[in-house]
Amino acid sequence: MEEQPKEMEMVPTHVAIIMDGNGRWAEQRKRPRLFGHKAGVDSVRIIVEAARKIGVKHLTLYAFSTENWQRPGVEVKGLMSLLKTYLQAELEKMLTNQIRLECFGQMSRLPQDVQQILQRVIEKTRHCQGMRLNLALSYGSRAEIIDAVKCIGKKCSDGTLNPEEIDAIVFDNHLYSSGQSDPDLLIRTGGEKRLSNFLLWQISYAEIYFTDIMWPDFREQELKDALQEFARRQRRFGKTGAQVGVT
Ligand code: IPE
Ligand code: IPE
Ligand code: MG
C-alpha cells in the first residue's frame, strides 16, 4: 500500500494541517460558506488517503477550534452535521486502510450524537496500525496546556508526582498528543500566516509551510508539493549545518 515517490526521500513522520479557507473558497463562488465546508470534507478524504499511501505515520487535522464556537449557530450546526456524516461514512475505509482515529480537544463540548459516533470510531479503530489520524475538534492549544498544568499540579499536591521530576517528557505525557511524536511539518492553507492556537507546544521544531491555496483546492498534488518542499529543508535543531551533515 505504501508508495513513496522517488523524489521524496524524506517523508515526514507527522504532518499537521490547519485546514483554512473553506468559507472564502465558497464566497469566491458566490455560494454559502457551508458549500465550502462540504468541499473541504472531500479534501479531507483525499488527503487522508494520500498521506496513508505516501507513508505518513501521523496526520493531525485542525477541524474546529475552541474559538470557532463563536461562529454563527447555523455554521456551527452545519459543521457538526458534516463531521457526523464524515465519521459515519469513513469508518469502513479507516478499518480497511488501517487508520486509527484519535480526537484532540474538548470532546464534551461536542453535540451528544457527534460524541457517540466519534467514540465508536475511536474504539473500532484502536487496533489499526497503518496511520494515526488525529482530528483536532473543539481544540485550543492554550486550553490543552492549561489542562495539562492542572493535572500535573494535582498530582504534585496529592504526592503522586515530585515537582522535581517535571520535565518536557512528563509535560508532553499530559497533552492530548501524549505518546505521539511532534509534528515534523505544519501546513496552513488559505493564505493566513498565523497559528490560531494550534499545537503551540508540539510544533516547537516543526517546519512550517504556508500556502495561499484554499483548503477545498488542496488535494494530493498539493500535498506532494508540500512534502517535496519539506524534503528540501535542512533541519538543524540549533546545531550548525556542518554538524547535521547536509549542506
Ligand atoms: C476552515 O475554513 C474551516 C474551519 C475553521 C471550521 P474557514 O471556515 O475558516 O474558511 P475562511 O477562513 O473563512 O475562508
Ligand atoms: C483555524 O482557522 C481553525 C481551523 C482551521 C479549524 P480559523 O479560520 O478559525 O482561524 P483564524 O480565525 O483566521 O485565525
Ligand atoms: Mg478561516
Instruction: Tell me, yes or no, if 20 is annotated catalytic.
Output: yes
Q: Is the CB of 21 under 6 A from ligand 1?
A: yes
Atom of ligand 2 nearest to the CA of 192: 13
Do residues 62 and 137 make contact, with C-beta atoms less than 8 angstroms apart? Answer: no
CATH number for the domain formed by residue range(s) 6-141+182-231: 3.40.1180.10
Q: Above 60 in pLDDT, residue 1?
A: no
Residue nearest to atom 11 of ligand 2 (CA): 196
Find the Cα–Cα–Cα–Cα dihedral 17, 169, 229, 238, rounded to 10°: 140
Kindly report, residue by residue over 30-42, the tens digit of the pLDDT. Answer: 999 999 999 999 9
pLDDT at residue 245 in the model: 83
Percent of the chain with pLDDT over 90: 95
Work out the angle at residue 246's Cα, subtended by the Cα atoms of residues 15 and 242, and round it to the nearest 5 degrees: 120
Ligand positioned closest to the Cα atom of 36: 1
Whole-number average pLDDT of the chain: 96
Kindly report, residue by residue over 177-187, the tens digit of the pLDDT. Answer: 999 999 999 99
The closest alpha carbon to 184, from 233, 148, 130, belongs to 233
Q: Measured in angstroms, how far is the CA atom of residue 166 from the centroid of ligand 1? A: 37
* pLDDT interval class at 246 (50, 70, 90): low
pLDDT at residue 7 in the model: 47
Instruction: Round to whole Å and give the CA distance between 22 and 25.
Output: 5
Instruction: Tell me, yes or no, if 162 is annotated catalytic.
Output: no
Q: Counting every residue, how long is the chain?
A: 247
Of 7-16, 20-29, 164-173, the poorest mean pLDDT is in 7-16
> In a mutational test of the pocket of ligand 1, which residue from 22, 70, 83, 211 has the highest number of ligand atoms less than 8 Å from its CB?
22
pLDDT at residue 4 in the model: 55
Instruction: Round to whole Å and give the CA distance between 146 and 161.
Output: 17
